[in-house]
Structure 1
Amino acid sequence: MNVTRPRKVKMALSCLLGTAMLGGAGEAMATTERTAEQLSQAIDVVDAAVFDAFNRCADPAQLAKHAAYFDEGVEFYHDNGGVTWTRDEMIGRTRANVCGHYRRERVPGTLAVFPIKGFGAIAQGTHRFCDLSGTTCAGEADFVMIWREQDGRWQVTRVLSYAHRPTVP
């Protein structure tokens, strides 16, 4: 079956949102009402912060800072790496495969943010991964992150990283 990429993204989001909403159904979620622009700015800030720590995760303090942005039960779906079901498992893979080797850069202009009423936001975009030993960015991928805002704190509850491909110069 040949499904177009936008349809695949919509299907993935539907499945992911269903899971995310069920996971928080019994919890009281306090979110701040924001305009679309304010929400986009808030997610831009937390995305930059989580990946600033990720990019310096060879330092154990930065890896711990990075980890704190993820819910303990975060589900991470990676088209090449498979699924991790917990923050500890995800951070273990990050420590083993990323720290000291790669940095993440969000492709400018690709971040799109959508509200999830009473919960948080969906962030969608494209990112690339660059070798720390040089200026080469060999690969990029699309991502979707489900952010939950609770008591003024943002945490990621679900991640999709997919459509990994070589970076086009």
Structure 2
Amino acid sequence: MDLQDFVQQEGGSEEDKIAAWNLFQQAYEFQMQGKLDEAVSYYKQSLEKFPTAEAHTFLGWTYSFRGQLSEAIEECHLAIKIDPDFGNPYNDIGAYLIEMDQLNEAISWFERATNAKRYESPAFPHMNLGRVYERKGDWDEAIMSYKQAITLNPKYLAAKQAMMRLIGLMN
């Protein structure tokens, strides 16, 4: 999402949206620098100016870096309430559930992510489904999921490696 997309969202003043966008960008920079407390603060300030699914999702991602998976999941649920078509929070909830060793629960979240109307990286939930099925010992389903990830993103090296590793183990 760029600034133009951000400003075109419904509600709020253009001034608040621009301020929220700038705070979101600063938060992301802090997050990438590992300054998680600052990132959390700036994401929250962005949300106060103009709440977006992206800011909630990225705040959740920051919480996950701090090991706060319940808070991360809560932020994803808030993101989904704002924009149920945005795929990232569905995938992220599934990823957090994997970390919590709740594999069966993760599957439905990844499936929802694969059906999202708005998702910049649609190969990710397929890769994550592959990871779940592989951990559950369902290698055929895992390979199918990895293949789908590769179909969506032919340059997805991790999916290619995972698929080839499993095929090698099956032979």
Task: Judge same fold: TM > 0.5, yes or no.
Answer: no
Q: Which has the higher contact order (CA 8 A, sep 6+)?
A: 1
Q: Whose strand proportion is higher, 1 or 2?
A: 1
TM-score (norm 1): 0.30
Normalised by the length of structure 2, the TM-score is: 0.30
Q: Tell me which protein shows more helix as a share of its residues.
A: 2
